[in-house]
Amino acid sequence: MDFSWVGFVVEDYIIESLIGEGSFSMVYRGLPSQQGPPLVFKVSRPEGYGPVEWQTGAFNTLAKVYATSGFADVTPPADVVLKLQWDTLEGVRDPGLVHPVGCGEDAGLFYYKMPFIGGTSLREKLQGKSAPVRVLVEAARAMERLTQNQGLEYHGDLKPDNILCPESGEVMLIDPGYFGPMRINGVLLDFCAISTPCYYPLLAPDDLFALGIMLWEIVLGEQPFRKRGFSGRSNLERVGPELLEAVLDREKVGRYELSAILDLRLPREILPGLDARTEAVLLKAMKLRKVGEGKLELDEGFSSFAAFAGAVADSLASRL
């Protein structure tokens, strides 16, 4: 199926270019036919349209539902996913979360409009090996405001692709995920997770854990959950009993998203010379701690976004 909005006129905006796409949407830049700033048009991906051209592999947002053998991939209607994003974004007002300026439907496709934000994404900074830890501190502070003052329950799809770094001003978060019931093909499912599993390996809306995974990625250069793991191939002598039990309990019901945590090396093994205090912060952000002879064990993690931001800013000041 051939599809493109480039060259179309939508609401007096000339669609100039495709600037991104994902599993459920196409993202275009639109220029006003008269004076005014450009806008971003996020359009539901047409059914039957070809593969995602800007494929990011393990970093794609997916939809998963729980089945008897574990979590299975599903494909909900793209307009349903975008309307869920619209509902979340439209309901909050905060400089750290992009606010849409309207929505509509054209040629049977739902879309919503957002301001065009210059700069780069955290993903682009990671690829250029220039990602400062400051970005995650600002993202955590934004999430603290959003959850405490704006009533946002969760973002649900925090990942480097969804954290924008404008040339001036604080970071901005885009494209929230979803965790909850959903009707797909006429069937009401009790639970559907629309997120990115390698940043939400618990398949729960744990945004603090997602920030911890990104912190590990920025400081140590490894995305710990990019490759699917399995306990049978891991050195189990390196992990404590609580961590092992948590992973095995999930594997019994076909859930392997967390299994790769068994293969983590200690931060000071990955980055020799790292101080013990920074190592402890990195581990705590991953809900881990070091016990005994260098074993990894479960930890409760940070108690809040503010606690995460404070610890990271304090221990990693030289990397801000």
Q: Can you give the C-alpha Rg of the chain in angstroms?
A: 20
Alpha helices in the chain (DSSP H): 78-90, 122-127, 134-149, 207-220, 241-251, 267-270, 276-285, 305-315
Burial of 56 (0-12, 13-18, 19+ CB in 10 A): middle
- Residue 51 confidence (pLDDT): 62
Task: Select from 148, 150, 69, 83 the least CA-distant residue to 112.
Answer: 83
Task: Select from 30, 3, 25 the least CA-distant residue to 15.
Answer: 30
d(CA 113, CA 22): 16
Question: Domains of the chain: which residue ranges?
Answer: 9-319
The CATH code of the domain at 9-319 is: 1.10.510.10
- Residue 54 confidence (pLDDT): 60
Give residue 131's Cα distance to chain centre. 16
- Residue 29 confidence (pLDDT): 96
Q: Over the chain (320 residues), what is each successive 10-residue block's mean pLDDT?
A: 83 93 93 92 86 70 82 89 95 92 93 93 90 94 94 96 90 96 87 95 96 97 88 88 94 89 95 94 97 92 97 84
d(CA 205, CA 189): 18
- Residue 52 confidence (pLDDT): 67
- Residue 184 confidence (pLDDT): 85
Tell me the whole-structure pTM to 2 decimals: 0.94
